[in-house]
Amino acid sequence: MTSRESPYPPGSAAFPHRDLVGIDVLQPHEILFLLDEAAQWVELGRRPTKHDDRLAGLTIINAFFENSTRTLLSFEIAGKRLGADVVNMHAAQSSIKKGETLIDTAMTLNAMHADAIVIRHGSSGAVQLIADKVDCPVLNAGDGQHEHPTQALLDALTIRNAKGRIDGLTVVICGDILHSRVARSNILCLTSLGARVRVCAPPALMPAGIEEMKVEVFHDFNTAIEGVDVVMMLRLQMERMEGEFIPSPREYRHLYGLTEERLARTSPDTLVMHPGPMNRGIEIDSTVADLVDRSLITRQVEMGVAIRMACLDVLTRRTRKVEGWQ
C-alpha cells in the first residue's frame, strides 16, 4: 500500500505518542496502525534469515523488576531482529535489591542514553513514573494490575489474523479478572476496535465497577461461553492474592475451567486463547490448550514478537529522524 492509500494520517500523526504505557490513551486508528505495521514482521519472522537493520546503533534496555519468560524474550528477540543493541536488566541482580528508589533507577537508565526502555514492574503506575523522568520512549511490559499493552495488541493481531476482523466479534475473557492487567488492556483494546466483550469470574475475582468498561459481566461460565467467537482464559494470579479468593483449585476448574465438555458448548469455529503462563488442569485443560485447529496459544507468542518489533520501530522513528516523523 502506498502512503497515499494509507488509511492513517501521514507521518508521526499516525502514532503521535512518545511512549506506550497503556491502551487507554490510544485511538482505534492508532491501534490499527500498529497492527498493520506488525504484518511485515510476521512475514520476516517466518523467513530463514530474520534480520532488518533499521535500529542498528540504537540501545534498548529491558528493565524487568518482575519475573517474565515470554515477554522478556519476545522484546529481546524483537530488538535484536531490528538490529538494536539490547541489554536486559533483571531486578534480582540490580540495585533495587539494595534499596535504590525507582526514580534513581530511572535517572541511571536515562544517563546511559538508552534509545528505548522497556519496563515490567509489580506496581501499577510505576512505568508512567519512569516515563515521566526519562528522555526516551518507554514501553510498558506489564505494570501491576494496570496494563499490559503489547499483550493486548498481540492478542488483537492474533484474533484479526484468525478471524479476518475484530469488529462485531464476541470475546469472553474468563478467570482472575481482578488481578489481571491483561484483561484490562484487552477490554480497552477489543472494545475500542468494535468487539463485544464479556468477562466471567467468581464474584471475588471480579473488580467492582467493571461494567463501566463497556463489558457484560457473568459469573456462570456455561452461560458466558454461549455464542462467543473467542474464549480467552486467564491464570489465577496467586502471587497477587492475599487470603482466600477461591475455594480450591479443583472446584475452580469445575466452575471456571475450560474443559473439553465446556468448549463443546461453543461452535466448532470458536477459538481459544491464553496469554501464558498456563496452569494446565486449573483454568485450562491440556486437551483444549493443545487443540491444533482451535487453540491460538502458540500463535499469540509468534504475534508477540511481531507486535513488539512494530512498537519498537514506530516509537524510535523520531530518534531515527524517519521522514515525516521528526
Q: Residues in the site for ligand ASP, rule: CB under 6 A?
A: 142, 148, 181-182, 235, 237, 275-276
- Give the shortest CB-66-to-ligand ASP separation in angstroms: 8
Q: Based on CB atoms, which residue is closest to ligand ASP, 40 or 237?
A: 237
Kindly state the DSSP code that residue 245 receives in the 8-state scheme: -
Which stretches within 125-195 are classed as H helix?
Answer: 126-131, 149-163, 181-192
Output 55 or 303, the one with its CB closest to ligand ASP.
303
Nearer to ligand ASP, 235 or 317 (CB): 235
Shortest reach from residue 33's CB to ligand ASP, in Å? 24
Q: Which is nearer to ligand ASP, 148 or 317 (CB)?
A: 148
CB of 177 to ligand ASP, least distance (A): 12
CB of 165 to ligand ASP, least distance (A): 25
* Closer CB to ligand ASP, 79 or 275, in the complex: 275
Cβ proximity to ligand ASP, 227 vs 276, nearer residue: 276
| Contact present, 116 and 63 (Cβ < 8 Å) | no
- How many whole angstroms separate alpha carbon 297 and alpha carbon 186? 15
Q: What is the Cα–Cα distance from 24 to 53, expressed in whole angstroms?
A: 31
Minimum CB distance to ligand ASP smaller for 266 or for 300: 300
DSSP annotation of 142: E
Using CB positions, name the residue nearest to ligand ASP.
235
230 vs 273: CA distance, rounded Å: 7
- Tell how many helices (H) and how many strands (E) occur in the chain: 11, 9
Least separation in angstroms between CB 158 and ligand ASP? 15
Least gap, CB of 306 to ligand ASP (angstroms)? 17
Name the residue among 56, 105, 46 with its Cα closest to residue 79: 56
Inter-residue contact 223 to 195 (CB < 8 Å):
no
Kindly calculate the radius of gyration of the chain based on its CA atoms and give it in whole angstroms. Answer: 20
CB of 167 to ligand ASP, least distance (A): 26
Element (H, E) at 89: strand 85-90
Task: Please state, in angstroms and as integers, the Cα–Cα distance from residue 127 to each residue in 105, 113, 143, 171, 279, following that order.
Answer: 12, 18, 6, 28, 27
